[in-house]
Amino acid sequence: SQQGEEDPQALSIQEGENATMNCSYKTSINNLQWYRQNSGRGLVHLILIRSNEREKHSGRLRVTLDTSKKSSSLLITASRAADTASYFCATEGSGNTGKLIFGQGTTLQVKP
Amino acid sequence: KAGVTQTPRYLIKTRGQQVTLSCSPISGHRSVSWYQQTPGQGLQFLFEYFSETQRNKGNFPGRFSGRQFSNSRSEMNVSTLELGDSALYLCASSWGGQGGNGYTFGSGTRLTVV
């Protein structure tokens, strides 16, 4: 399969705690993106990190990228019940504009 | 600013029939990509169109086809439907360059084949 791996597959935490999700991929990339999906609806873009970047922040989100290990992590700090969703990483390769390769996703449950 | 619009939202078809799904991208976006999401295979790339030309194609059989119109709206067609084609079909739009600010997805069309 061309798809990457995400772990854990499922994560359950209490409100206020931090959530960390990891993603590994197989091919060289131009960028890596994280998306959220609520209950089988459309995907919402969260953050994009380019292959020459190592870390990026957006509000309560922090993404890291290690191209030597072909891995990325998404940290959600001070989680809220509204963060309950599935989270997917997706890679876009050089020369493959418009084609995202998705990981299998992490299902996050945040308990109030 | 209107988002990405997919129609219809839900569809039930019988094996052997064909179906056409529509996607209207965000105004100004020239790229439309299509994805199939199933519990077993996850999110898989179908194809991408930019300025009416197919620029990328995934590993799906020829029963899956698409096109893009001059106004950037896109359609995908699945002929001779099989039970395994039951899935959530998502389209995504972007300005067309690589990465940018990511892709904007529609809410999807849930296709059930019976």
The more confidently predicted of residues A5 and A82 is: A82
Read off the pLDDT of each residue in B69-86 and give the average, rounded to a whole number: 97
Please give the pLDDT value at position B99. Answer: 61
Q: What is the mean pLDDT of chain B?
A: 94
| Chain A neighbors of B55, CB-CB under 8 A | 97-98
Which residue does chain A place closest to B46, by CA atoms? A99
Q: Which two tokens stand for residue A64?
A: 């890291």
A94 interfacial to chain B (CB closer than 8 Å): yes
Compute the distance between CA of residue A14 and CA of residue B104 in angstroms, rounded to an integer. 30
DSSP secondary structure letter of residue B52: T
Dihedral sign, Cα of residue B40, residue B43, residue B44, residue B46: positive
Compute the distance between CA of residue A62 and CA of residue A77 in angstroms, rounded to an integer. 8
Buried b (16+ CB within 10 A) or exposed e, B18-27: ebebebbbbe
Per residue in B2-44, pLDDT (tens digit) is 799 999 999 999 999 999 999 999 999 999 999 999 999 999 9
Per residue in A39-93, pLDDT (tens digit) is 878 999 999 999 999 999 999 999 999 999 999 999 999 999 999 999 999 999 8
The beta-carbon neighbor of B42 closest among A3, A44, A97 is A3
The beta-carbon neighbor of B103 closest among A94, A100, A103 is A100
Please give the pLDDT value at position A97. Answer: 77
Please give the pLDDT value at position B96. Answer: 76
Please give the pLDDT value at position A1. Answer: 43
Cβ contact (<8 Å) for B90 and A45? no
Cβ contact (<8 Å) for B99 and A104? no
